[in-house]
């Protein structure tokens, strides 16, 4: 009599696995227009920036990338004649609501610019803690600020290079070190979001590599938005990429998909070098 092998049904891993929670939108932009006088530089942009992820914004020069970035922490309004219409929500609250303090917004949404901007008259350590100067009596103690400075410099991968000269002028640092110092300064206030406006544009290849490694390592701890003209850089460091053209958001997608099968023919033309 023939015997029948017992049939063991394979467990359906897809059915039993616990799905990882989908990332949530930390910053939500809705119907955003940004103006310089009568000129509309950003046109009806709606976009989510997901918590703990790196989003790259790419596009040709003058397409509105940096203007959009500056709208995310109310830096745009510091320009004479500039104004914003629409919403930018952080944790569900519109940062442009009446009564919202823009200085407080910038503590929660830090920014680093294209060229390093250390304060020439301050030491390396004091540059890192400069963001607490406007806090008045609410600022951490001097001892606490020293601890924060060490934490931020370590997070910016700069501590080992400057720990023995914290009281020296920041201007004694190289360009790449100054840029990491500016990142440490932005991180010192423990922001939820870090905005980077072409942070490696003025740096040499080795300094660029260090900044890229830092951006990659920051994911998960802080939400990063990086404007870059370098598509290879966007591909290396970002989880999602947004493409802008003439003030419009053309499309946003996971970076791997954006660079292999973009949905819009204008994106494909830009990525393949047919314009821009």
DSSP string, 107-168: HHEEEE-SS----TTSBHHHHHTGGGGGGGGGSPPHHHHHHHHHHHHHHTT-HHHHTT-TTS
Query: What mean pLDDT is predicted for residues 113-132?
Result: 94
Question: d(Cα 51, Cα 251) in Å, to the nearest integer?
Answer: 19
Residue 111: beta bridge partners?
195
What is the reported pLDDT for 9? 45
How many H-runs (helices) and E-runs (strands) does the chain carry? 11, 10
Look at residue 136 in the predicted model and tell me its pLDDT. Answer: 66
pLDDT per position as a tens digit, 125-161? 999 999 887 666 678 899 999 999 999 999 999 999 9
Per-residue pLDDT, 138: 73
The answer to whether residue 17 scores a pLDDT higher than 80 is: no
Domains annotated on the chain, with CATH: 24-118+191-271 (3.40.50.300)
Q: Cα–Cα distances in Å, from 28 out to 66, 88, 137, 211?
A: 17, 6, 32, 26
Is the pLDDT assigned to residue 254 strictly greater than 70?
Answer: yes
H or E stretch at 238 = none
Residue 10: predicted pLDDT: 44
The more confident residue out of 248 and 219 is 248
Q: What mean pLDDT, rounded, does the chain reach?
A: 91
pLDDT at position 275: 76
The upper half-sphere exposure of residue 259, i.e. CA atoms within 13 Å in the direction of its Cβ, equals: 16
* CA distance readout (Å), 156 to 50, 52, 131, 152, 226: 22, 17, 16, 6, 16
pLDDT at 194: 97
The mean per-residue pLDDT over the stretch 236-259 comes to 97
Q: What does DSSP assign to residue 169?
A: B
Structure confidence at residue 135 (pLDDT): 66
| pLDDT of the residue at 20 | 57
Question: pTM of the predicted model, to two decimals?
Answer: 0.88
In this structure, what token pair is assigned to residue 100?
A: 């919202």
C-alpha triplet 225, 200, 188: angle, nearest 5°: 55
**258 pLDDT higher than 90:** yes
């Amino acid at each position: 009599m023939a015997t029948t092998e017992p049939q063991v049904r394979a467990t359906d891993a897809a059915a039993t696995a616990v799905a990882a929670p989908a990332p949530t939108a930390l910053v939500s932009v809705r119907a955003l227009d940004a103006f310089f006088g009568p000129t509309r530089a950003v046109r009806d942009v709606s976009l989510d920036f997901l918590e703990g992820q790196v989003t790259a914004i790419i596009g040709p020069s003058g397409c509105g990338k940096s203007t959009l970035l500056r709208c995310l922490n109310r830096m745009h309004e510091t320009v004479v004649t500039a104004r914003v219409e629409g919403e930018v929500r952080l944790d569900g609250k519109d940062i442009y609501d009446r009564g919202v303090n823009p200085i407080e917004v910038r503590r929660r949404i830090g920014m680093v610019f294209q060229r390093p901007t250390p304060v020439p008259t301050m030491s390396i350590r004091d540059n890192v803690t400069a963001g607490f100067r406007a806090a008045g009596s609410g600022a951490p103690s001097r001892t606490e600020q020293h601890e924060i400075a060490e934490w931020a410099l370590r997070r910016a991968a700069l501590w080992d290079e400057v720990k023995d000269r914290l009281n020296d002028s920041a201007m004694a640092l190289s360009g790449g070190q100054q840029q990491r110092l500016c990142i440490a300064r932005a991180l010192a206030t423990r922001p939820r979001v870090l905005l980077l406006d072409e942070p490696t544009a003025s740096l040499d290849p080795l300094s660029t590599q260090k900044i890229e490694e830092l951006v990659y390592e920051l994911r998960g701890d802080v939400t990063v938005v990086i404007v870059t003209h370098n598509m290879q850089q966007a591909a290396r460091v970002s989880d999602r990429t947004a493409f802008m053209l003439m003030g419009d958001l053309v499309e946003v997608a996971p970076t791997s998909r954006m660079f292999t099968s973009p949905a819009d023919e204008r994106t494909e033309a830009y990525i393949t070098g047919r314009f821009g």
